[in-house]
């Protein structure tokens, strides 16, 4: 991982649609070496996939909900059932196992509080939970999909 590789990752995070020729120009390389480096970064797993980022408001998904979950169950079988239930809910876009007093944190995007309640009802119908707390975002102050690159080790 050198400066060129880091620059490739930086520019792709900002715009994955960039052509290899444009990317090569931005990082001051010719197209062929740039393409080879891009292929290598993909093969090494630095780049999982390229996606389109959609506008939540235009999709009528203006409500972001952070859901904290506590459970009494910590078996692998329960977790698999819980994960399967989460996988069936497209409104839940992020899913984390946490440390501390919360076992899991979910992030959901929905059109309304009523829509969140529908998601909640579907979830509790599929899996037993100890406690569910929902927090509605009032304002999105910062949101990025770009990851910091300064921690990559050579």
> Would you say residue 97 lies in a domain?
yes
Q: Is residue 87 located within the same domain as residue 130?
A: yes
Q: Is residue 143 part of a domain?
A: no
Indicate whether 154 belongs to any domain. Answer: no
Q: What is the CATH number of the domain that holds 77?
A: 3.30.70.920
Decide if 125 is inside a domain: yes
| Claim: this prediction has a pTM higher than 0.85 | yes
Please state the rounded mean pLDDT for residues 136-150.
95
* 3 state SS of 115: helix
Domains of the chain: total:
2
> For the sheet containing 92-97, what is the strand order?
92-97, 104-110, 63-70, 131-136
Binning pLDDT at 50, 70 and 90, where does residue 23 land? very high
Same domain, 30 and 78: no
Give the chain's mean pLDDT. Answer: 96
**Residue 27 belongs to what domain range?**
3-43
Residue pLDDT, tens place only, 70-112: 999 999 999 999 999 999 999 999 999 999 999 999 999 999 9
């Amino acid at each position: 991982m050198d400066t060129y590789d880091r620059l490739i990752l930086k520019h792709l995070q900002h715009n994955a649609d960039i052509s290899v020729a444009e990317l090569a120009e931005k990082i001051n390389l010719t197209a062929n070496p740039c393409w080879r480096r891009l292929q290598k970064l993909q093969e090494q797993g630095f780049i999982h996939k390229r996606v389109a980022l959609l506008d939540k408001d235009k999709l009528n998904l203006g409500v972001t909900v952070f859901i904290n979950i506590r459970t009494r169950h910590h078996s692998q079988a329960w977790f698999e059932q819980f994960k399967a239930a989460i996988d069936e809910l497209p409104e839940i876009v992020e899913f984390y196992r946490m440390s501390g007093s919360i076992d899991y944190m979910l992030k959901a995007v929905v059109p309304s509080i009523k829509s969140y309640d529908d998601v909640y009802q579907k979830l509790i119908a599929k899996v037993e939970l100890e406690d569910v707390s929902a927090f509605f975002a009032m304002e999105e102050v910062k949101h990025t999909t770009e990851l910091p690159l300064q921690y990559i080790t050579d």
